[in-house]
Structure 1
Amino acid sequence: MVIVMGFEGSANKLGIGIVKDDGTILSNIRHTYITPPGEGFLPKDTAEHHRSWIISLVKRSLTESGLTHKDIDCLAYTKGPGMGPPLRSVAVTVRMLSQLWKKPIVAVNHCIAHIEMGRLITGAKNPTVLYVSGGNTQVISYSLKKYRIFGETIDIAVGNCLDRFARVINIPNDPSPGYNIEQLAKKGKNLVELPYVTKGMDVSFGGILSNIESIAKNPVRLKEYTVEDLCYSLQETVFSMLVETAERAMAHCGQTEILAVGGVGCNERLQQMINQMVSQRNGQSFAIDERYCIDNGAMIAWAGYLIFKNNITTPLCETSTTQRFRTDQVEVTWRDD
């Protein structure tokens, strides 16, 4: 039996998870750095949050799992992509624990971890993956030992688009800006026409954000539309773009399964739109709830195990981090299909 402890801290969520080699999740603890309404989270402040909480989360994770550090076989951490200072603060802790506990380290790609956690939890075999989060937006499919990117955002990520609009309308960041936009959108009735930007299988959200920001800041336009209308319109537009590009990738790859991962993948309206599209293709859609969809340590632990089971580890001198680490850079050594 192999047991891996995973460390995630690429953005404002710090997560520690412990996973067995059969996929059993023994612990999955998370603490989120939350800022006041109208404010984002700065890298240096987020890193300070992670440094302040990480040791207590490690202890809680071990307690919850009923294990001690002697039971852990490997430590997995997020190498990237993500915010530089938070990534580094977690990597330093992992290097320290590795030397104290005498455990090997495995560096993990954050995006790959989302995909493999989604496959583990849902049982999806070979899906087209719609990866949507605060920092990433990609349409992905597996081929020839790589997760290939068939489409992606050419400017900002969809989650970043939603988060920045939440700041404009000054709604709370607790539990997350995207979740609060989702709740407001459920009350929206009037659809505001916004730019719809798809370019092949790529998408662009920057112009949409600028457009809806100008409406939200215009007192005259706000007499025509409520804040709920704006949230509803933003969701409908950006999610339609995502579903269109995902369907195009499914058709191109001849696949019948689609899996939504990343923080925005928790959105019920997005899941509903994906289900509607897939049902017309006689396919099947898969989604996971916020425990495993939002950044978490268990996904890093599981991806770390998949790498570690082939006797691949990361030497201490190479346990660096990087803000840019593309999904298609990773050789998928654990899949034979």
Structure 2
Amino acid sequence: MIAIGFEGSANKIGVGIMEHSDDGKVSVLANPRHTYITPPGQGFLPKDTAAHHRAHVIPLTLEALAEANLTPKDIDVICFTKGPGMGGPLTTVAIAARTLSLLWGVPLVAVNHCVGHIEMGRMITGADNPVVLYVSGGNTQVIAFSEQRYRIFGEAIDIAVGNCLDRFARILGLPNEPFPGWQIEQRAKKGTQLIDLPYTVKGMDVSFSGILSHMESLVRDHDPYLPDAPYTADDLCFSLQETVFAMLVEITERALAHIGATEVLIVGGVGCNERLQGMMGEMATQRGAHLFATDERFCIDNGLMIAQAGLLAHKHGVVTDLTDTWCTQRYRTDEVLVTWR
């Protein structure tokens, strides 16, 4: 079976094509995407992001079909992101998926964005039953599978870790190309001074808004770009990364110990950060566990992850009726009945 997946819950529009053969082989056929980039210091608005997605969804679809050497008649199922995400961009992708479903006569499967990240990570890395740390611009969750659901053990109670990093990059005026978190990661590699920051872990949950406010006050008190400042922009990026990643490793380790797991999988856009992978890997090694992670091709939002999760569901009888292809900005990971595991 061959699935085409459409992802556009935030500032990236992606179209991926995945094939599951009868002998169990899984093949990645195409995975192009395009990112809406704003000027330094600015975020992306839903209406502008939706306009970007409308402009690129058809060219990306044609590019994916050409790369996979397929025609519409070869597609068995169309998968799209139902949520969570930004309303305007989600709607744009859903309309494209519905239109192609009617034109091609192909069934639809609505996919939870978070579950898409998990299934993509499991497929690419070969992780079997890991504790999952899902970290992105809109979500921060520690997840484990139990009784047909991806159960949330802990999460951010205010803003996601990726949102915290992105907003601090804006405060420093860092470029959004290729993405703000990458800019902070490169700056952090040159930082030498670890600044004491708020460390907010509440049971299995974390909070990042207070850290962000404190970082903003540090920049306001002393311009880190001035030569006589007590700390540099590199020091601030280094300190922010070390603090928030330590918080994430702590709650992931607690979940790992609670269920006795031997695998950890990091997914989501922040998951391609090498420092986070390094810190998590050290913790996993100390516990006799194994870390699974991927690079930006699969960590960052892409259409392939939607195709993979949708195809798994479709092979177990899931089809989304056209009247149910609405989108939602709030769609929790544990709402999905995981019929394929």
Contact persistence 1:91–1:321 (CA under 8 A): yes
Q: Does 1:212 align with 2:215?
A: yes
Q: Does 1:25 align with 2:28?
A: yes
Determine the structure 1 residue equivalent to 2:247: 241
Determine the structure 2 residue equivalent to 1:290: 296
- Whole-Å separation in 1 of the counterparts to 2:108 and 2:156: 32
Query: Residues 121-160 of structure 1 correspond to what in structure 2 (within 5 A)?
Result: 121-160=124-163
Backbone CA RMSD of aligned residues:
0.8
- Note the C-alpha offset of 1:23: 2.1
Choose the corresponding residue for 1:333, options 326, 336, 339: 339
- Note the C-alpha offset of 1:218: 1.6
Contact persistence 2:109–2:319 (CA under 8 A): yes
Q: Does 1:253 align with 2:259?
A: yes
Query: Residues 159-238 of structure 1 correspond to what in structure 2 (within 5 A)?
Result: 159-219=162-222, 223-238=229-244
- Partner deviation per Cα, 1:183-220 (whole Å, 9 max, x = no partner): 00000000111000000110000000000111012227
- Whole-Å separation in 2 of the counterparts to 1:233 and 1:181: 11
What's the TM-score once normalised by structure 2's chain length? 0.97
- Whole-Å separation in 1 of the counterparts to 2:255 and 2:135: 15
Q: When the two structures are aligned, how many residues end up with a matched partner?
A: 334
- Partner deviation per Cα, 1:264-314 (whole Å, 9 max, x = no partner): 000000000001101100110000111111000000000000000012100
Q: Does 1:3 align with 2:6?
A: no
Determine the structure 1 residue equivalent to 2:51: 48
What's the TM-score once normalised by structure 1's chain length? 0.98
- Whole-Å separation in 2 of the counterparts to 1:323 and 1:312: 21
Percentage of pairs with the same residue? 64
- Whole-Å separation in 1 of the counterparts to 2:246 and 2:280: 9
Choose the corresponding residue for 2:269, options 243, 250, 263: 263
Q: Structure 1 stretches of 5 or more lacking a match?
A: none
- Whole-Å separation in 1 of the counterparts to 2:220 and 2:178: 25
Q: Does 1:312 align with 2:315?
A: no
Q: Structure 2 stretches of 5 or more lacking a match?
A: none
Contact persistence 1:105–1:314 (CA under 8 A): yes
Contact persistence 1:23–1:302 (CA under 8 A): no
Q: Does 1:86 align with 2:89?
A: yes
- Whole-Å separation in 2 of the counterparts to 1:216 and 1:286: 35
Secondary structure of the corresponding residue to residue 108 of structure 1: strand
- Partner deviation per Cα, 1:150-191 (whole Å, 9 max, x = no partner): 000000000000000000000100000000000000000001
Secondary structure of the corresponding residue to residue 311 of structure 1: coil
Determine the structure 2 residue equivalent to 1:272: 278
Contact persistence 2:120–2:309 (CA under 8 A): yes
